[in-house]
Amino acid sequence: MPLPLCPFVPLFDNMNITLTSGKSVSCAPNTSILESLKKAGIFLTSSCGGKGTCGKCRIIIKSGRSDIRSKMKLSKEEIKEGYSLACKTYPSGDMLIDIPKESMLTVEGQIDTGKSRDFLALLHSAGADLDPLAGRIVLQLPRPSLDDNISDLERLKRELFANGLGCLRVPFRFMTHLAAIVREKNWEITLATIHSEDCYEITNIFPGNKKIPQYGIAVDIGTTTLVVYLTDLTNGALIDIASTYNSQIRFGDDVITRIVNATEHNELGNLKRAVTEDINNMISLLCQTHNISTDTIDCIVVAGNTTMTHFFLGLDPSAIREEPYIPTANTFPLSHAGELGIKTNPNIPVYAFPCVSSYVGGDIVAGVLATRIHKKNELSIFIDIGTNGEIVLGSSEWLMSAACSAGPCFEGSGMKHGMRATDGAIEGVKINCDTLEVEIKVIGKNIQPVGICGSGMIDAIAEMFLTGILNQKGKLQKDRSDRVRTGENGPEFVVHYGRDKDIVLTEPDVENIIRAKAAIYAGFSTLLNEAGLTFDDVHKVYIAGGFGKFLDIEKAIILGLLPELPKDKFEYMGNTSVIGTYLCILSRKMRAEAEDIARKITYIELSVSKSFMDEYVSGLFIPHTNIDAFPNVKALIGR
């Protein structure tokens, strides 16, 4: 139990914060626990950036005195159990705390080697070789003598010329250290380079042979979630994955609210800083976990929707939200980590995926690159279900796209117990139709569930509907199950009775999901209508999204999120945005292909389409007002 609050804060002495894991961290006076942990390399999820409004940075105070400045987002029970917000807890003496798993920003740690193999196979099947965006060249310079007494710079240039690299310019910033570097390891040096326009550019010079290790960072900047892949550029292996919520959430859940904040409240700089800090935190965590120096990171590739890319690059997004919806740019010149505030070698290149329009961005171009629909003869649909649902329809001959606003519910944001698809998330739910007993599947080994992710919500709602716990309008049926009860937010269904807290889906959660799935289904139908096609013409549907490893297609059809087509027409691909960035980081051919895709896609604006609104309203039922479009679901309900 926490001791009573004590506003006294010592002026000079640092305090100790001991974690229940045994680790101890020093805390300066008037510094929050969140800040102190961060300084010690322990990163907590902190979507609101320490403002005390997201409730993600929870810790449990076991003992010690502190000044707790806000308890927002904590329930009475949680406060009783010692829960506190790390960003609003200021130690006033030594403390012992526990950090619940769901508060930690963690890396996946153990990457299935099959995943790297799959990505490399994808690269090779696309006819591309391992040819990363950045490379390293090792040179042995001849030692100077009285007969060969040219300057160090001339010596380096002569050697570059002899190696067919005569166009390589040595930037001035390296000249101040050049004399020391060439002598440090007996005139052997390594140049880190990138291919830029007609030549290479030097991004770093090291003494000796530093050919390996060499890493790349692939980033998917989602409106709600950020994912970072650490990649070995020498063999294409995926080393590790880190993910977190996008801290820009404190400026709004959706892109429009964030644009309003950026333009009308002058917050563009803060939005840029929020996402940069998230990326820096994940890079630090990955480097720390794998004991690698940031000097070994040679390039970064990012993909995000058009607004996220604008925020990351610090571009003015104001015209994106007003008709006729114009971004500052859809293609972006190579920039450098230093000018974007990324804490690696400042000279390494940062490549941002090209976008199609204001509402179909680089993440979708990366998704098309990963699914390869632009190379297939048959008609395919690609759908990326994130905070927006973006859809691309087409084949090797043509591609058209549209975007519909789904909201962040499938990524866990704005839902009572929603969370990302990481350890502790309920990702699968089954309800026995006779006993109404609930069986759950949780991500991670022997882990207590702490929330529910997108695939778990789809499962739960489909199962609740099939068992009569939920009606077609998304209303919970109190008399059907003891698990339906009245909570703080009205009727709720207990998905899991927990030791510390029950995990529930509330009626407002269900309404959120129904609105999102209606928008996505309406996007599918409208785009097909525009092309004069129907669902029967579609050969394959590729689905992307942050659902984790698993998405039950049948349940998504029962919910009315996906059209009722034979199951083998669907392929769930996971996060295709980050797969596309990964391919691009490993191959310059893939980068050229991404630029071709962006040029080829035609954008259709759904907000001016009357049929989209009609389709949307029809989709506000489970599975759909037109039940005849879902014959198998109709038969299931009948049973």
Task: Give contact residues for ligand FES (rule: CB under 6 A).
Answer: 46-48, 50, 52-57, 85, 87
Q: What is the 3-state secondary structure (H, E, C) of 607-634?
A: HHCHHHHHHHHHCCCCCCCCHHHCHHHH
Complex with ligand FES: residue 57 or 134, whichever CB lies closer: 57
Provide the minimum distance between the beta carbon of 5 and ligand FES in the complex, in angstroms, as a whole number: 18
For ligand FES, give the closer residue by CB, 57 or 315: 57
Q: Which residue has the tokens 């696309």?
A: 126
Residue 257 C-beta: closest distance to ligand FES, Å: 17
Between 89 and 371, name the residue whose CB sits nearer to ligand FES. 89
Identify which of residues 47 and 307 has a Cβ nearer to ligand FES in the complex. 47
Residue 501 main-chain phi, psi, to 5 deg: -150, 150
Residue 67 CB contacts under 8 Å (≥ 6 apart), including other chains:
5, 6, 7, 8, 9, 89, 90, 92
443-455 b/e with 16+ CB inside 10 Å = b? beeeeebbbbbbb
What is the nearest approach in angstroms of ligand FES to the Cβ of residue 68?
12
Buried b / exposed e over 210-226, threshold 16 CB at 10 Å, is beebbbbbbbbbbbbbb
- Minimum distance between the CB of residue 106 and ligand FES, rounded to whole angstroms? 16
Q: For residues 55 and 523, which CB has a smaller minimum distance to ligand FES in the complex?
A: 55
Give me 325's structure tokens: 């919806």
- Cα separation, 610 vs 389, in Å, equals 18
Q: In terms of CB distance, is 55 or 424 closer to ligand FES?
A: 55
CA distance 32 to 46: 13
CB of 639 to ligand FES, least distance (A): 46
How far apart CA 381 and CA 364 sit, in angstroms, is: 12
Q: Which CB sits closer to ligand FES, 52 or 523?
A: 52
Separation of CA 208 from chain center: 37
Beta carbon nearer to ligand FES, 52 or 135:
52
For the CB of residue 278, give the shortest distance to ligand FES in the complex, in Å.
12
Measured from the CB atom, the residue of 32 and 223 that comes closer to ligand FES is 32
Q: Cβ atoms within 10 A of the Cβ of 256, count?
A: 13
Nearer to ligand FES, 47 or 575 (CB): 47
To ligand FES, the closest distance from the beta carbon of 509 in angstroms equals 21
Least distance between ligand FES and beta carbon 414 (Å): 15
What token pair was written down for 186? 């007996």
Amino acid identity at 522:
A
For the bound state, the minimum distance from the C-beta of residue 252 to ligand FES, rounded and expressed in Å, comes to 15
User: 3-state SS string over 294-342?
Assistant: HHHEEEEEEEECHHHHHHHHCCCCHHHHCCCCCCCCCCCCCEEHHHHCC
Q: Of the two residues 73 and 589, which places its CB atom closer to ligand FES in the complex? A: 73
In the complex, what is the shortest distance from the CB of residue 250 to ligand FES, in angstroms, rounded to a whole number?
7
Per-residue DSSP letter, 454 = H
Q: Which helix (H) or strand (E) holds 515?
A: helix 507-530
Least Cβ distance, residue 86 to ligand FES (angstroms): 6
Q: Which is nearer to ligand FES, 85 or 544 (by Cβ)?
A: 85
Q: Tell the smallest beta-carbon distance from residue 73 to ligand FES (Å).
A: 6
The identity of residue 282, as a single letter, is M
CB of 275 to ligand FES, least distance (A): 15
Distance CA 422, CA 278 (A): 17
Q: Which is nearer to ligand FES, 54 or 302 (CB)?
A: 54
Q: Which two tokens stand for residue 209?
A: 């042979």
**Nearest to ligand FES of 50, 424 (CB atom):** 50
In angstroms, rounded to a whole number, what is the distance separating the alpha carbons of residues 638 and 570?
25
Phi, psi of 128 (to 5 degrees): -110, 145
Q: Which two tokens mark 110?
A: 């153990």
Strand partners, 245: 225
Beta 297-304 vs 215-221: how paired, if at all?
Answer: parallel
Closer of 108 and 277 to ligand FES (Cβ)? 277
Residue number with CB closer to ligand FES (253 or 363): 253
Nearest distance, CB of residue 272 and ligand FES, angstroms: 19
DSSP 56: -
Nearest-approach distance from CB 99 to ligand FES, in angstroms:
13
Please name which of 497, 472, 480 lies closest in space to residue 434, comparing C-alpha atoms: 480
> Judging by beta carbons within 10 Å of its beta carbon (0-12, 13-18, 19+), is residue 472 exposed, middle or buried?
middle
First to last CA, the chain: 52
- Cα diameter, the chain: 98
DSSP 371-385: HTGGG-SS-EEEEEE
Listed in sequence order, the residues at least 6 apart from 631 whose beta carbon sits closer than 8 Å to its beta carbon are: 564
- Report which DSSP code applies to 587: B
User: Smallest distance, Å, CB 180 to ligand FES?
Assistant: 44
